[in-house]
Structure 1
Amino acid sequence: MIIQVVANLNLPSLTSDIVNNGVAKGDISYIWKIGFEMIGFSLLSVAAAIANVLLAARSSQKLGQNLRSDIYRKVMNFSNDEFNQVETSSLITRTTNDVVQIQNVAMMALRMMIMAPIMLIGASFLAYNKSHQLSWIFVISIPVLLICIGLIMGFAIPLFRAMQTKTDRLNLVFREGLTGVRVIRAFRQDKFEQDRFEDANQDYTKNSIKVNTIVAFAFPVMTLVMSGTNVAIVWFGAQLISSQTMQVGNMIAFMTYAMQVLMSFMMLAMVMSFLPRASASAARIQEVLALKSSINSPAQPENVKADTKSLVFDHVDFRYQQAEQTALTDIDFAATAGQTVAIIGGTGSGKTTLINLIPRFFDVENGAVKINGSDVRQQDVQALHEEVALVPQKATLFTGTIRDNLKFGKEDATDDEIWQALDIAQSTDFVKEEGGLDAHVEQGGGNFSGGQRQRLAIARALVKHASVYVFDDSFSALDFKTDALLRSQLRADKRIQQSVVVIVAQRIATVADADLILVLDNGKLVGKGTHAELKATNKVYQEIMRSQLREGEAEL
């Protein structure tokens, strides 16, 4: 950049020499000589500018790449509490739009913010050398330019800051409309959602028009100041030339240097106009990067692996952040390898909350959750997750192939292991119909039915060799026959028999053959035992049974 600026600053002086010593004296050879020097400096400036642009572009793009990677890695390490603090739509905006704002400013800073001060100082010094009598013009033009830029930026900065918040809002409404399109159509809320999006869109558009209109004033104002400066230089320079105290070439050089001085201020103003928005973006990104995960591995973790697999809830209490009441109270049970624990209860009774404590998505308030005899809080988080295979309520599949999705839990899984898991999950037939393990999976598994997605999610968990297998209401989309076959295969599999199986379900038929059934009601354990025991003694369990049996139907 220094080479580029020095080359550019030499050109007005060479022009001055051509006019004063070549044109005025009619020395053609001198004109050619200086002309070739100007061509050399011009080529040097072009070469330096190209290198400068390439380096600046590479640096700014690498900055964006690193920021996106840092944000993604940070988000992947968030616990559920941190996810609840920052909305998904906002995280997407911060990873894309906010990073782009910083990239743009980094590019401009490397090109203009560094160049402008160097050119400003160099051009001012050379302009003074050419004619100190005209330098007073800068005393007027520069303050006028700074005042105009200051006023424009004063109005624009708050609007730039508001742009990012309005972008968040626009993304949120758009994302909700896309993900909930079926619900919107089913309830005939198309017009309401369109109006909602239109309001967010118009709000963003009005703000953008306003801020861009204000910033657009900067260029005509700067042009006016520059033109006025040129007029003043020509007016007063002509008087100096007529009094033979200044040469024509010097006035031309001074005029060029004056433009370079003012252009330096313009470049700084352009960068400054983008800084407020980039500053807001940087603050939003820093907010994500500064969030500390509440779930961390201890300095000296205990070994999670053990010969005998077990799962223990030792008088566990749990409360969500800022909640007044506990979501779970005094949950106490134990299970060892080969046992199946079933959890049943009404909606909102705390079933999903309970199983989220097993892989330590949240930390307990009192008591302890132990896997293989060790408190999960004393285990390395990554090692703990390797010992827990979870099938969540919503079956999520990723773009790729069936093989790619089923290797999520075990990267080195063989095709035989995958087919075995598919057999247990009652998925072999439809996978073969789709074309086998290389069959394509669309985003979210959109090319499969709800039951097929659920069975593939179950198979993905079964491929993994884990100490605890957790099924969070993951049989809900299955018919009774498939449900029974799947559970029968689970009980018969020798590898699964060496682990603890936890099943959350709504149907009595799904939990009836479990070794231990936990009955939850409002976060409390109101029943614990086998199906026969609970059927005879537990009122909540009896109510659930009655609600699922038609009149005259035989009880289980």
Structure 2
Amino acid sequence: MIKIAKRMSIGSILMALVFMMVQVMSDLYLPNLTSNIIDKGVAKGDIPYIWSVGAVMIGFSLISIVAAIGNTYFATRESQKLGKTLRSEIFKKVSYGSHNQIDKFGTASLITRTTNDVNQVQMVTQMFLRLMINAPLTLIGASFMAYQKNAELTKVFLITIPILLIFVGIIMYFAVPLFKSMQKKTDKLNLVFREGLTGIRVVRAFNRSEYEEERFDEANKDFVATAIKVNSILAMMIPIVTLVMSGTTILIVWQGSHLIADMSMEVGHLIAFMTYATQILISFLMLSMIFIFVPRAQASAVRINEVLDSVDELTEAKNPVEINQDDKQTSIEFKHVNYRYQGAENLALEDVDFKVSKGQTLAIIGGTGSGKTTLVNLIPRFYDIESGDILLNNTSVSKVGKEALIDRIGYVPQKAMLFTGTIRENLCYGKPNASEEEMWHALEIAQAKEFVSSLEEGLDSHVEQAGGNFSGGQRQRLCIARALVKEADVFIFDDSFSALDFKTDAKLREALSNDLTNQISVIVAQRISTVADADLILVIDEGKVVGQGTHVELKENCETYQEIISSQLKEEDIA
């Protein structure tokens, strides 16, 4: 919590403190005025005095109201600003962090940390600026004022306050661990719910709706059971405090009546003392509630700091160099590259060594899990290699700034992902200032111009979340167009032709070869027909390059490539 507290504005905290002190002083002075009205006004029948002191009471009440509004304003503003800052920093950390960081925490947990955990910290921050300041000030002030009224009666608190502390301590002992566990159970609930939503088509296709309902119900019941348990424990707080306060009132009245009978205390003083006693006990209650919620916020703060303090393995170069912009130098070169996933024992890629130049097409083919996607993810430096070097235009990617590197690469991911908005807005992801001519040109190469033109609103047609209103092939072609709008040296197509029919696939590859004459195309594919025309084909098997060359060369001398051909083509079709 201390790290997070450093993000708060000192000015707002001071203003909240000033307004709270004014409110507390006003609230503490009101019982004293009540005492004076009873003892000096009512007892003596002095009506003018009652009116004059009553007017003063109204004035102090108005001051208290204004101070409370001021304190609430600054407390709310500061807590909301803190929440906004934390959400922004987490989002920025995730956006600019490596894929390993996202994999480490998991999507569901990151969502919980950005929403629920930040809300917990935000709520406690507001409670701190409201109650954490109010309670101790009121406690100290009311104790002093009560002592001023009658020192003898203050001995009552020596009995009631320890009883209250014991009960609150017991409640905190059982409630705090449950509050902490609720955060983890919130993570699990979000995970199951998110999986059920994103995989709804798979669930229905396999008729597993009942299974998913049971799975969600189990996580939901676990969360609810914990929530019910902790709230049931907290529910004991009010009755216990009410009982203690009622007991305190009885003791004060009982002992105070004897003092009044002995003429050592006035009735007004007794009423004022009872009011101060109530303020003291309520202050203890407020402090107790804070100490119950603070551990939950502390657990949330730890989870937030885990994200904010996570170290990005992909460190920026201290003195980043410029990528060579000369078209004649356009090239990608892997020099004996080895890569291992974080925490893995075996290498994911081993001794990868090749080079492709301007205007060439590199195709990567291999079995599922062989390392094809891993290899292309190393080019834009989504992961850092263990040894060797990767050169883009004869410049090591590790020496180039992250943004400068990404600017030179057009990337089409394995999963066709579109964002909510319009087709135009999605294409502008590749180039924010792209002209309509450039967009239509990219759509034409991606074989998407025809279906986009047929839409009533064309480029301004609405795109639902994840492109749900388009077919798989349409989404892939729009993603390809989004990459092609970008001015880049290298275009990576990670198995992004899989949803296209053979005819569209062939047209798309032909358009790419005709248009990208000064760039390099990197195509990850499963089909032999997709890679056959490439200038260089890499055959990957269990992280190793078991063959590289043209289609004709590999067909003759690469056993793995021959097996892939045999699995996809009939003998008479093999050319």
Q: Which residue of 2 aligns with 1:257?
A: 276
For residue 243 of structure 1, the aligned residue among 236, 244, 262 is 262
Unaligned runs of 5+ in 2: 1-19
Alignment of 1:131-530 (within 5 A): 131-307=150-326, 308-434=329-455, 435-493=457-515, 496-530=516-550
Return the alpha-carbon distance in structure 2 between the equivalents of residues 529 and 206 of structure 1. 62
Letter in 2 for 1:376: V
Return the alpha-carbon distance in structure 1 between the equivalents of residues 85 and 431 of structure 2. 28
SS at match of 1:174: helix
For residue 109 of structure 2, the aligned residue among 69, 83, 90 is 90
CA RMSD of aligned residues (A): 0.9
Letter in 2 for 1:335: V
Residues 473 and 504 in structure 1, CA contact (< 8 A), matched pair in contact too: yes
Structure 1 residue 279 displacement after superposition = 1.1
Letter in 1 for 2:443: L
Tell which deviates more after alignment, 177-186 or 463-472.
177-186
Return the alpha-carbon distance in structure 2 between the equivalents of residues 185 and 438 of structure 1. 32
What are the superposed Cα offsets for residues 289-308 of structure 1, whole Å, 9 maximum, x if unpaired? 11111112111011114202
What are the superposed Cα offsets for residues 166-197 of structure 1, whole Å, 9 maximum, x if unpaired? 11111111111111122122222222111111
Q: Which residue of 2 aligns with 1:28?
A: 47
Structure 1 residue 512 displacement after superposition = 1.0
Q: How many equivalent residue pairs?
A: 553
Return the alpha-carbon distance in structure 1 between the equivalents of residues 336 and 389 of structure 2. 7
Letter in 2 for 1:465: E
Return the alpha-carbon distance in structure 2 between the equivalents of residues 165 and 27 of structure 1. 64
SS at match of 2:178: helix
Residues 215 and 273 in structure 1, CA contact (< 8 A), matched pair in contact too: no
What are the superposed Cα offsets for residues 425-472 of structure 1, whole Å, 9 maximum, x if unpaired? 000011011221100000000000000000000000000011111111
Q: Which residue of 1 aligns with 2:12?
A: none
Letter in 2 for 1:504: V
Letter in 2 for 1:56: A
Letter in 2 for 1:377: S
Q: Which residue of 2 aligns with 1:540?
A: 560
Structure 1 residue 350 displacement after superposition = 1.0
Residues 365 and 537 in structure 2, CA contact (< 8 A), matched pair in contact too: yes
Return the alpha-carbon distance in structure 2 between the equivalents of residues 482 and 186 of structure 1. 27
Alignment of 1:76-115 (within 5 A): 76-115=95-134
SS at match of 1:545: helix
Return the alpha-carbon distance in structure 2 between the equivalents of residues 135 and 543 of structure 1. 92
Residues 311 and 371 in structure 1, CA contact (< 8 A), matched pair in contact too: yes
Structure 1 residue 555 displacement after superposition = 2.1
Return the alpha-carbon distance in structure 1 between the equivalents of residues 204 and 119 of structure 2. 35
Tell which deviates more after alignment, 271-280 or 332-341.
271-280
SS at match of 1:192: helix
Identity of aligned residues (%): 58
Runs of 4+ in 1 over 3 A off after TM superposition: none
Residues 324 and 394 in structure 2, CA contact (< 8 A), matched pair in contact too: no
Structure 1 residue 80 displacement after superposition = 1.2
Q: Which residue of 1 aligns with 2:9?
A: none
Return the alpha-carbon distance in structure 1 between the equivalents of residues 167 and 139 of structure 2. 19
Q: TM-score, normalised by structure 1?
A: 0.98
Residues 391 and 471 in structure 1, CA contact (< 8 A), matched pair in contact too: yes
Tell which deviates more after alignment, 260-269 or 301-310.
301-310
Letter in 2 for 1:355: V
